[in-house]
């Protein structure tokens, strides 16, 4: 992992592009999931729309941070916070609408949350790596 951090350290702003691309992949997977499971009504529409909007906002933030960020650690903390909030919102929605969400929808949300936890851990390590190398 240090090797990956070293390459990111050379262009630390690229972490925001990586995160934006990850958010875009999340949006695509959500849209594909919606398309494939629409007839099953696996996740209520209001949840799918809400999550899609949040992901679009995050894609925009990631791109904006890549071009505008002056302080990488500060903006990376914002990205980490946003990822934690998105995972938390997904988890809360899963709990609130547990009876309405079909098993395949539950599986999708749990996988999404686990991926976000991994992303947050990676970004936290990268943040501490940046602090060590400064």
Write out pLDDT tens, residues 50-94.
999 999 999 999 899 999 988 899 999 999 999 999 999 999 999
- Whether the CB-CB separation of 132 and 28 falls below 8 Å is answered with no
Q: Is the model's pLDDT at 97 over the cut of 90?
A: yes
Q: Is the model's pLDDT at 96 over the cut of 90?
A: yes
Instruction: Round the average pLDDT of the chain to a whole number and report it.
Output: 88
- Residue 11 is classified by DSSP as S
How many domains, in total, are found in the chain?
1
CA distances (Å), origin 99, targets 47, 51, 69, 83, 120: 13, 18, 42, 25, 28
Please indicate, yes or no, if residue 2 is contained in any of the structural domains.
no
* Full domain range(s) for residue 94: 11-133
Q: Is the model's pLDDT at 134 over the cut of 70?
A: no
Please indicate, yes or no, if residue 59 is contained in any of the structural domains.
yes
What mean pLDDT is predicted for residues 118-130? 91
Please indicate, yes or no, if residue 4 is contained in any of the structural domains.
no
What pLDDT, on a 0 to 100 scale, did the predictor assign at position 10? 81
């Amino acid at each position: 992992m240090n090797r990956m951090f070293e390459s990111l350290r050379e262009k630390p702003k690229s972490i925001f592009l990586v995160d934006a691309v990850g958010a875009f992949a999340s949006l695509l997977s959500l849209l594909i999931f919606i398309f494939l499971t629409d007839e099953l009504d696996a996740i209520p529409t209001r949840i799918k729309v809400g999550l899609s909007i949040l992901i679009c906002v995050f894609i925009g933030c990631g791109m904006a941070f890549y071009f505008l960020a002056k302080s990488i650690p500060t903006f990376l903390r914002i990205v980490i916070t946003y990822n934690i909030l998105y995972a938390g919102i997904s988890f809360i929605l899963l709990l609130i609408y547990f009876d309405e969400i079909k098993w395949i929808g539950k599986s999708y949300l749990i996988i999404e949350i686990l991926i976000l936890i991994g992303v947050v851990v990676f970004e936290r390590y990268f943040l501490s790596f940046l602090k060590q190398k400064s």
